Amino acid sequence: LRTQVAIIGAGPAGMFLAHLLHAAGVAVVVIEQRTRSYVENRVRAGVLEQITADLMGRLGLDRRLRAEGLVHEGINLALDGDIFRIDLAAATGGSTVTVYGQQEVMKDLFDAADARGISIVWNAEGVALHDLESERRPVVTWTLGGVAQRLECSFVAGCDGYHGVSRSAIPADVLRTYERVYPFGWLGILADVPPAGHELIYANHAHGFALASMRSPTRSRYYIQCTLDEKPEDWPDERFWDELCLRLGPQGGAAVTRGPSFEKSIAPLRSFVAEPMRWGRLFLAGDAAHIVPPTGAKGLNLAVADVIVLADALTVFFTSGSTAGIDAYSARALARVWKAERFSWWYTSVTHRFPDMDGFSRRLQMAELDYIRTSPAAQRSLAENYVGLPLVR
Ligand code: FAD
Ligand code: DHB
């Protein structure tokens, strides 16, 4: 087998890159270790930035997004139960976000890949990368049902997430990593009940953070901050609803419709960046290169921003032979990645309860949130980051 770009991983980064390159006439093969239904059924992100919604439009993947996506012009913040709204559209000159689950995005990407003849290898075991920095062309190997497979290519795009193999192909003396691990996690549930309101509520409460989100007018997504030693079984539905309503406060809590949850899981929070995002003929994109805590809803959108820049760079290379774009990829992507890392870290810091927090730190948090409530400048800064910073081209 031969192709121009071998894409490792069929998550959002890999599949958006595959569609972008295919549309530009560049040949790709996507190699994924799981099954389609596994990837499609992972419950993850829910909020799309304008660049992500626009990209789905540009790729002709937005039929369901336009029909079912919920466009939000604002978000709410709650401080000890007092709720105030930030008008994202007014603060940014008209930008919005769209609530549309990652699972739906994946479904649309896979359906269109089938229709357009983009080849995806599912169930690839033992994926390995070879000759990434030699005169020879890179080679990807794997086994499929016990049979050895081999793909020759010009470039490899490592879109295989935080636990993938691509990042570790970069030699230890080249790779630099930067990390923060937070002393708490998010316990999330899905329930088929109407959401608490038509926009999200991010709540800072003395007991910890809570988030009211949604997937549709009939499906709610809620999160509460929990400790890292807790298990989903420690939180039967009634206990979850009681704690959620307490943290959202009287007004937010009263708007919550309770019902049986059908998904309940805990995710740890982490900030992580690997540099550089290119080594030889290997490029990293998405979670393979960076992780943000979920507070700013940046993970999926950051993967999209990376692959827009990478697809441009590779397309220029294959059409003109110029390496300017691929040489600049790592620096361009990282310039935006670090700003999203900063925002996600900051938003986490002002909304969560830290175990070592004393009265002074708590009052600084309260002052910061009250500053946001009363200052148009502070609201503008939050809003422009939340809807997504411009791409670095
Ligand atoms: P991934 O989605 O991780 O995709 C990588 C793909 O590569 C996977 O399909 C994987 O199976 C495949 N793969 C891995 N190793 C190999 C290999 N060796 N060979 C071949 N294929 C391989 N973001 C938000 O904005 N909001 C949220 O609420 C949110 N919740 C999250 C909850 C969880 C539990 C997790 C893990 C992430 C969450 N995120 C959230 C982050 C967001 O989902 C990710 O940032 C996004 O999926 C990144 O896309 P990606 O394509 O880079 O990586
Ligand atoms: C969702 C997740 C987030 O991390 C966030 O900031 C907003 C919404 C969600 O899953 O709906």
- What ipTM was estimated for this complex? 0.97
| Ligand 1 mutation pick, 17, 20, 98, 160, max ligand atoms within 8 A of CB | 160
Q: Do residues 246 and 144 both lie within one domain? A: no
pLDDT per residue as tens digits for the range 160-178: 999 999 999 999 999 999 9
pLDDT per residue as tens digits for the range 89-142: 999 999 999 999 999 999 999 999 999 999 999 999 999 999 998 888 999 999
In a domain, 76, yes or no: no
Q: Which long-range contacts (CB under 8 A, 24 or more apart) does 371-379 make?
A: 372/77, 372/86, 373/77, 373/79, 373/84, 376/91, 379/86, 379/87, 379/91
Ligand 2 binding pocket includes 47 (Cβ within 6 Å)? yes
Domain count, the chain: 2
Q: Do residues 34 and 144 both lie within one domain? A: yes
Q: Do residues 37 and 59 both lie within one domain? A: yes
Q: pLDDT band at 31, cuts 50/70/90?
A: very high
What is the spatial distance between Cα 75 and Cα 59, in angstroms, rounded to a whole number? 28
Instruction: Give the CATH number of the domain where residue 139 resides.
Output: 3.50.50.60
Which ligand is the nearest neighbour of the Cα of 100? 2
Q: Do residues 102 and 36 both lie within one domain? A: yes
Q: Do residues 58 and 173 both lie within one domain? A: yes
Q: Do residues 21 and 103 both lie within one domain? A: yes
pLDDT per residue as tens digits for the range 354-364: 999 999 999 99
In a domain, 323, yes or no: yes
In a domain, 244, yes or no: yes
Q: Do residues 125 and 193 both lie within one domain? A: no
Between 55 and 392, the higher pLDDT residue: 55
Residue 64: how many other CB atoms lie within 10 Å = 15
| Ligand 1 mutation pick, 102, 109, 343, max ligand atoms within 8 A of CB | 102
Q: Do residues 339 and 284 both lie within one domain? A: yes
pLDDT of residue 134: 80
Instruction: Give the CATH number of the domain where residue 230 resides.
Output: 3.30.9.10
* Structural domain range at position 246: 182-269+352-387
Ligand 2 binding pocket includes 297 (Cβ within 6 Å)? yes
> Where in the sequence numbering do the catalytic residues fall?
72, 202, 294, 298, 386
CA of residue 9 to ligand 1 center, whole Å: 9
Burial of 119 (0-12, 13-18, 19+ CB in 10 A): middle
DSSP classification of residue 11: S
Q: Do residues 51 and 195 both lie within one domain? A: no
What predicted TM-score, i.e. pTM, was given to this entire model?
A: 0.98
In a domain, 284, yes or no: yes
Q: Do residues 218 and 326 both lie within one domain? A: no
Mean pLDDT of the chain: 97
Q: Do residues 155 and 295 both lie within one domain? A: yes
Q: Do residues 343 and 359 both lie within one domain? A: no
pLDDT of residue 136: 86
In a domain, 88, yes or no: no
Burial of 360 (0-12, 13-18, 19+ CB in 10 A): exposed
Residue 368 has pLDDT above 80, yes or no: yes
In a domain, 87, yes or no: no
In a domain, 61, yes or no: yes
- HSE, side-chain direction, 13 A CA sphere, residue 380: 6
In a domain, 79, yes or no: no
Assess contact for 213 and 195: CB atoms under 8 A: yes
Residue 393 has pLDDT above 80, yes or no: no
